[in-house]
Chain A
Amino acid sequence: MVQQEEYTIKLPTFEGPFDLLFHLIKKAEVDIWSISIADITEQYLAYLQSMKELNLDIASEFLVMAATLLRLKSKLLLPRAPRSEEMEEEEELFEINTAEELFQRLEEYRLFKEVAHYLQQKEEDQKKVFLRSTGGQKVMVFTQQESVYTIWEGAHHLSDIMQRFARVALAGEYMPAFSAVEDFVISQKADYIQSVLNQKKRAMPMKAFVTKTGLWDIIVVFIALLEMSRQGKVNLLQEKPFGAILVSLKPESEMVEKEGESGERTTKKDY
């Protein structure tokens, strides 16, 4: 049997058949317009063969190109039939009927390949310039009192807000940073959640606490729940990403110790 090591030959990866053809042409050190179809076909097929031997998956596009090349080659060998082939080609990626067309397509591809290279260079350059950034996540807004950062501005999905919230919380920047108005709304909501849970005495889905339509109320519920969880008043359970969030009261015994300190911090904030 052949040893494993033999399979560690590294083949360059190609972005597609044009990329590979382009590479072969470059290797042959001739320009696009002067390469012979027969040569390039041979090399192309040889390359596919080596890919096969290495047990690499060959994308269908490469095989379509192989067929195209073979057709072009056979056309060159056969006596030229009068241009009667009006047969509609099946919808293919390359509708290439002559060598000329193939070269044109390759040439066009080469131009864009160069631009891609230019862009890569620019990307590299630009990566070296650091810009002021708050991660693009916090947007400054103005409330009646003062400017505050909100984490839900421009969010498309609740998970966006969750992520931002987690980031702020992890960075230790989170001191219930809502202005008096928002604090009030959230503590009200927290009281409501608490009362519902006390009454039902079972776990409830987060949705159950949303009383108004619109994103705002969902956000308030969510933040209230995070706050309550932080204070150790509730347990939150989410089975899978984006799944429903189940809320249950923490047993009395667990929450007593934590309640005092954090409860005070949230209420005694002067603005």
Chain B
Amino acid sequence: MEKEQQKKTIEALLFLSEEPVKPDKLAVVLSAAPEEAEAMVRELQEDLFSAGRGLQVFETAGGYQMGTLPELAPYLEKAFSEDISSNLSNAALEALAIIAYKQPVTRIEIESIRGVRSKHVLENLVKRKLIKISGRKDGPGRPILYGTTADFLKYFGLKDLGDLPQLEVEEEETKTVQQDEADDNSAQA
């Protein structure tokens, strides 16, 4: 397939796909190496951007997906408002944050970090397919272990778990930084 043709094909494929498309799938379609396919995707990203189009291609959950530009949201919402689902609660976000870093993790471990019972929150997250039961821990009671799903990455637009910020471990020297923050806060107040 010619290069131009390949690029068009990728555009069409991503346009049609509701799910992120993995590089190896692109490679199969184009009969090219995955790296080639990815290079092509990047070119397409460039093309869309420089042509000033309303669509973009972005990396999420280990694949590529086509979506609209964030700046268009206020207008698009007028047309699609009924499709917008409610945001996650703070409790849900906290639980997700813990699971994302500590997985596989048991409910008790999550609760001990949050200091709050979290059964209900976890059930809801499973229902929303943002987390899944990934196994059972060896030990008394064989408690259920939770882990995040591909939907989790998609929902937050993350390439993979490495995309999450590093957990900065609190050391002695960061105290000064905190003091600065406190000063900032008092300046605002």
Interface residues of A (CB under 8 A from B): 15-19, 26, 29-34, 59, 61, 65, 93-94, 105, 107-109, 111-120, 122-136
**Beta-carbon contact of B84 and A127 below 8 Å:** yes
- Interface flag for B175 (CB, 8 Å): yes
**Chain A residues within an 8 Å CB radius of B179:** 31
Q: With A112-B98, A118-B164, A136-B18 in contact, is A18–B115 under 8 Å at CB?
A: yes
Q: How far is the CA of A19 from the CA of B93 in the complex (A)?
A: 13
Closest CB of chain A to B55's CB: distance in Å? 10
**Beta-carbon contact of A123 and B97 below 8 Å:** no
**Chain B residues within an 8 Å CB radius of A94:** 112, 115
* B108-151, CB < 8 A from A: 111-117
**Chain B residues within an 8 Å CB radius of A118:** 97, 164-165
* B37-66, CB < 8 A from A: 56, 58, 65-66
**Beta-carbon contact of B182 and A93 below 8 Å:** no
- Interface flag for B1 (CB, 8 Å): no
- Interface flag for B31 (CB, 8 Å): no
Partner of A116, one of B66, B68, B93: B93
**Beta-carbon contact of A125 and B70 below 8 Å:** yes
Classify chain B's interface size. 35 or more
Which residue of the partner chain B has the closest CB to A131? B67
**Beta-carbon contact of A128 and B70 below 8 Å:** yes
User: Top 9 A-B pairs ranked by shortest CB distance?
Assistant: A16-B116, A115-B97, A128-B70, A128-B73, A116-B93, A129-B67, A31-B178, A122-B156, A126-B157
Closest CB of chain A to B67's CB: distance in Å? 4
Q: How far is the CA of A31 from the CA of B100 in the complex (A)?
A: 26
Q: Can you spell out 18 A-B residue pairs with CB atoms less than 8 angstroms apart?
A: A16-B115, A17-B115, A18-B114, A61-B117, A94-B112, A105-B113, A109-B114, A111-B167, A112-B97, A112-B114, A116-B94, A119-B88, A119-B96, A120-B88, A127-B73, A129-B56, A129-B68, A135-B83
**Beta-carbon contact of A93 and B175 below 8 Å:** no
**Beta-carbon contact of A129 and B115 below 8 Å:** no
Of listed A16, A59, A61, A119, residue having the most chain B CB within 10 A:
A119
